[in-house]
A = this chain, B = another copy of it.
């Protein structure tokens, strides 16, 4: 395979395998099922490595992502989203259920009734808000929604939550505690209406280790851990050595004494959390900062040593790997023996 042209995304396969194996081992040790969120990588090859390492199935965000993975032979999927079905999406979900075990999220009696109208008997998890304040009911209300879902004819397997408020400095352990509390309270709420929860699902990459230590979730759904990114690096949930995806970029300008490369927001995505030190990082130059990013430019300051020559290459680390992958038609897998093309099969599958 000839080398692609910059900017392009490279996966360090030994690091990827190490990340997958480490989390798989920790989950097995804690006797917690792992269902990685596959919105991060959107590729069949990484999904297969995760399943081979013991994952019970995959998590996805949309019916379209589920379709892409079922087309690749994946047979157990959780759509971690409170889907609102219209006739067409209902038909797509029904067609998927003929080919794979599919579970979906609900977070209201109304969405449960709508789901049951189209897909009676559908397996669901009730979504909880454990502190991120996005979708999901308060844990004490879980039984009410579960009861309505069950009465409507759905198969309520348990509850799930995403502790997204763990994406903050010093917030990881608090969020993992909130998650454990929410799952525990919701389990009691389900039992209160006569439903025994079989699945208490949580998880995110920043909260993963703490969640395993707490022992409440029966299943965890981290996504970013397989590849990692500048957010995890800056949150402290990954080291530079754990970063398995970078963007190869070419130095195109030294104008004004600056270092400018040809990777911008259309290759790296514009995601920038308040705790991010810049618009991206440089893997091999941890003190350098991307101080300005536009669609096809990143301006670098704080580079140690003499400026890299025009035409030379730098490895950039996106702030948010899920968003960067979703911009690319392919990842280039580097196993040390040349590059292999991994198609991003679920790219853009937003619906």
Q: Is the CB of A252 within 8 A of B310?
A: no
Of A61, A266, A320, most B-chain CB atoms within 10 Å: A266
CB-CB < 8 A to A251: which residues of B?
A: 84
Count identical subunits in the complex: 2
Select one of B110, B136, B296 contacting A310, CB under 8 A: B110
Any B CB within 8 A of the CB of A8: yes
Q: A84-B250, A111-B252, A310-B84 are in contact. Are A5 and B89 (CB under 8 A)?
A: yes
Contacts A111-B310, A311-B84 given; indicate if A253 touches B135 (C-beta within 8 A): yes
Tell me if A's interface is mostly helix, strand, loop or mixed. loop
10 sampled A-B residue pairs with Cβ under 8 A: A7-B350, A86-B250, A107-B255, A108-B253, A114-B311, A133-B258, A138-B256, A266-B348, A269-B270, A327-B327
Is A262 at the interface (CB under 8 A from chain B)?
yes
Report the minimal beta-carbon distance from A327 to chain B, rounded to whole angstroms: 6
A299-342 Cβ-contact flags toward B at 8 Å (1 or 0): 10000000000110000000010110011110000000000000
Contact of A265 among B108, B110, B111, B323 (CB under 8 A): B323
B6 touches A164 (CB 8 A): no
Bound together, the chains give a CA A138 to CA B255 distance in angstroms of: 8
Task: Kindly list chain B residues whose C-beta atoms are within 8 Å of the C-beta of A61.
Answer: 295-296
The answer on a CB contact under 8 Å between A351 and B4 is yes
Contact B310–A295 (Cβ < 8 Å)? no
